[in-house]
Amino acid sequence: MKNISIAIDGPAGAGKSTISRAVAERLEFVYIDTGAMYRAVGLAALNNGFDTKCAEQIVPMLDTTEVDIRHEESGQRVFLNGEDVTGKIRTPEVSVAASDVSAIPQVRVKLVELQRALAASRSVVMDGRDIGTYVLPNAEIKIFLTASPEERARRRFEELVQKGVKTDLESVRQDMDYRDKNDSSREFAPLRPAEDSVTFDTTGNTQEQSIDCIYDFIIKKIQGR
């Protein structure tokens, strides 16, 4: 069967990673979390003490920054210059840094090359903010996930608390508002639904309800091809 690309976009806290990972597992496709790649670059900038909004500092750094995605028994692992940083890239500080560096066109060009190469040789479920519009514009299935700002902030807060990150709901909400504005207003490949995507609002859903809904939709689309 021909390889199939599934693009899942949406704002922070919409459930993209959780849903995409679960759907990919059911389909036996490869899951690619592109947001983790931007988080890795954001972490690199923070480690160097750079201004994450300053292209003059970030762009030269790209020449010595290697981001790799590996799939192991424990799931997807993210490596930055050979170091496994999977557990280090989920803090609120790195989230903001990722949003900042993703607005720099040269960062997106570097990572999009890797993302497209990953999708070229296998069936994938790829999530992010510009997958259907820019990274994989010819993806067979495009989905835009969203939820209310209140629900997205609550989900992210609970996720961080479970991981032992010290924060509060208001700080998470402020970070999310910042990322929403930054991601939607950037000049290059902004966050927006692809014209041929289908939007799903997961407000009020349990994780399992959202996963079942998206999986059923994808199966019907694949069977109808």
d(CA 202, CA 82): 36
How do strand 198-201 and strand 67-72 relate by DSSP bridges? unpaired
Position 185 confidence tier, pLDDT thresholds 50, 70, 90 = confident
| pLDDT tens, residue by residue, 125-169 | 999 889 999 999 999 999 999 999 999 999 989 988 988 888 899
Whether the CA torsion 212, 213, 214, 217 is positive or negative: it is: positive
Alpha carbon 29 to its chain centroid, in Å, reads 17
Q: What is the pLDDT of residue 1?
A: 62
What are residue 220's DSSP bridge partners? none
> Which DSSP state fits 91?
S
Average pLDDT over residues 5-14: 93
Position 210 confidence tier, pLDDT thresholds 50, 70, 90 = very high
165: helix, strand or coil: coil
Q: pTM of this prediction? A: 0.81
| pLDDT tens, residue by residue, 48-106 | 999 999 999 999 999 999 998 887 777 788 999 999 999 999 888 999 999 999 989 99
**Cα dist from 106 to 32, 69, 183, 188, whole Å:** 20, 19, 16, 10
87: helix, strand or coil: coil
How do strand 141-146 and strand 5-9 relate by DSSP bridges? parallel
Average pLDDT over residues 17-21: 92
> Which DSSP state fits 190?
-
Residue 182 has pLDDT above 70, yes or no: yes
Q: Going from the N-terminus, what domains does the chain have, and what CATH number goes with each?
A: 5-219 (3.40.50.300)
The tokens of 95 are what? 């989230």
The tokens of 80 are what? 């930055």
What are residue 145's DSSP bridge partners? 200
